Chains A and B, each alone.
Chain A
Amino acid sequence: MTAEVVVVGAGPAGLTAALEASAAGCAVTVLDAGAGPGGQYYRQPSISAGAPAPELLRRVDADRFITVVQHTTVYGAERLPAGGAVLRTLGPDDIAGRLVAPAVVLATGAFDRVLPFPGWTLPGVFTAGGAQALVKGQGVLPGARVAVAGTGPFLLPVAVELACAGARVVGVYESSSMTGWIRQTPAVARNPSKVVEAVHYGRVLARHRIPLHRRHAVIAADGGDAVDAITVSRLRPDWTPIPGTQRRIVVDAVCIGFGFVPSVELALTLGCEVRIDGYGSPAVSTTDHVRTSATGIFCAGEVSGVGGVVLAEAEGALAGMAAATAVGCPVSTGHRRSRSRERARAAHFAAALEAVHPVQPGWTSWLSEDTLACRCEEVPVRRIREAVRDGDARDLRSVKLHTRAGMGMCQGRMCGPAVAGLVRDGIGTPPKDADAYAHRPFVVPVPLSSLARGIPPEPGPPNQIADG
């Protein structure tokens, strides 16, 4: 069986794309780096609790034209002249592979945006997404007394999941005022399920007596070998701390999230154009919502703009249909139209999100000179500021060359937004190359041994071509 459509990422967007492409008559291979399908949103417990999987996962599992390959990361890719791409993969045991895909749907999702603060590298500080992965996926609490902080509606389900799993959540610290939602009533009215969700979270937080502090942030974490306390502060609208409002709170874990950064690295390596979103991060540019600038390469979900699961699944459906059409399997116009309407409603909400929860520049005033901006290479804020001020580093790339920020194993994912904020402080405008750290020939670290060993000659998953 020849796979005609390859989907990268088995989250909501990727799986929906796979179902639509299969329904149109294609054979579909889904490549996913995780241990099981679902991505972040539909993360399944690693230890089965007997609960049924979400419908999307059950439908994919039952579809005999969809093959989901887990533990497989696409680390590189090259476009094919006729459209589509050759995907380079790293599979279980770090064995290299190669897959020819006439049509590709990139559904690589996003990762938590983090901003440094003094003490943020201490064990016990987690991202909000990491805390959720631990609770939902592993059945383990990040701590017994936990603070949840950052900005954006994602903080609420994280706090709720922690509380329901038995953690004492001392508070949710939301940096924005959230009053921006009042101006977004049209978007909210078109997406009533979001109101229902918000009310539900509000109820659970109230039941567990978890205070939601708006205009507050965790501005420091303390401890010897791990976090044992945090400092929270009330903020001005620009996110600078208001003097005299700092309080020290005993915790053993902090979960931080300031929205999400699209994982655009694979799209960039395929030459897809990106735009800069309202948070200052790159997102894949699209026409017709799912076409990238590269022929035969489509995208869906957070990678083309952070907007949550409903938008991701609507885009996934459209991308699956577009990919199917590209390989000669037509799709009914009526079906496409109804998915388009869903997408439009959900996109309206996504735009509202961006308007209500932007990152404000004052966060850099939380930093001390010793705070590490780049975790991997241990680059303190001081060195970045010196490079901008004295070394004439005016963008992400020159900061990297001066200081090594962005050269570590995380490939600039953790420090990119921070370096951008520090450059902006220095030059007065955001850096022109906000996507600089995301341009990589290898989108994840790849062991040299995997490349040296080459691709095994015996046939692997469908469509895997042995190296000649």
Chain B
Amino acid sequence: MTDPRESFEITVDGRAVSVRRGQTIGAALLAAGIRTLRSTRFDGRPRGLFCGIGMCFDCLVVVNGAPPQRACVRTAAPDDDVTTHTAEDRS
């Protein structure tokens, strides 16, 4: 059984995703099989992690209602509420 101090859960689009302490949100989502993180403004095409080091800004997700952050550099925290922003969600 995994030590509860070593892993915890975050919520992604309403569903629970397990995270290992120290992991980034991007890595946790990828490990959970979530590869699409957003849709593009004009063409509505799927994007996910690309450069993995915070340079490309493709992996933007909304965390706890704050302006979009790069999933690949944002370390996950317990109870983080993540929204993978899709074009249809935008009002």
Contacts and interface: CB of A to CB of B under 8 A. Distances in A.
A127 interface: yes
A375 B36 contact: no
Interface in B66-84: 67, 72-73, 75
Contacts of A234: none
A111 B24 contact: no
A447 B48 contact: no
Interface string A296-338: 0000000000000000000000000000000000000000000
B16 interface: no
A127 B52 contact: yes
Contact of A447 (B6, B51, B55, B67): B67
B51 A130 contact: yes
Contacts of B21: 47
A409 B49 contact: no
B30 A129 contact: no
B51 A378 contact: no
A356 interface: no
B85 interface: no
A33 B54 contact: yes
A414 B30 contact: no
Nearest to A109: B53
A124 B59 CA distance: 12
Contacts of B50: 121, 125-127, 130, 375, 414
Interface string A30-71: 000111000010000111100000000000000000000000
Chain B interface mostly: loop
B56 A375 contact: yes
Interface string B16-29: 00001111100110
Contact of B53 (A46, A47, A124, A133): A133
A450 B27 CA distance: 27
A378 B21 CA distance: 35
B23 A46 contact: yes
A129 B24 CA distance: 16
Interface in B36-70: 36-37, 40-43, 45-58, 67
Contacts of A47: 6, 20-23
Contacts, number: 110
A457 interface: no
B36 A130 contact: no
A376 interface: yes
A378 B53 contact: no
Contact of B23 (A132, A138, A142, A408): A138
Given A47-B22, A226-B36, A133 B52 contact: yes
A445 interface: yes
Looking at chain B, what size class is its interface with the partner chain? Answer: 35 or more
Candidate in A35, A123, A127, A130 with the most chain B CB atoms within 10 angstroms? A123
B45 to A, nearest CB: 7
B41 A131 contact: no
Contact of A408 (B20, B22, B57, B75): B57
A376 B40 CA distance: 9
Given A140-B27, A226-B46, A131 B52 contact: yes
A400 B45 CA distance: 22
A127 B53 CA distance: 9
Contacts of A413: 55-56
B40 to A, nearest CB: 6
A410 B56 contact: yes
Contacts of A112: 51
Given A130-B72, A375-B56, 20 more contacts: A33-B54, A46-B22, A46-B23, A47-B21, A47-B22, A47-B23, A111-B53, A121-B58, A123-B35, A123-B36, A123-B49, A127-B51, A127-B52, A140-B28, A226-B35, A226-B48, A376-B57, A376-B58, A378-B43, A447-B67
Interface of B: 6, 20-24, 27-28, 30-31, 35-37, 40-43, 45-58, 67, 72-73, 75
19 contacts: A47-B23, A123-B36, A123-B46, A123-B48, A123-B49, A124-B35, A126-B51, A127-B51, A130-B72, A138-B24, A139-B20, A226-B48, A375-B50, A375-B58, A378-B42, A378-B45, A409-B57, A414-B50, A414-B55
Counting from the closest, the 9 A-B pairs by CB-CB distance are A130-B52, A123-B48, A138-B27, A409-B57, A46-B22, A123-B35, A133-B52, A140-B27, A47-B22
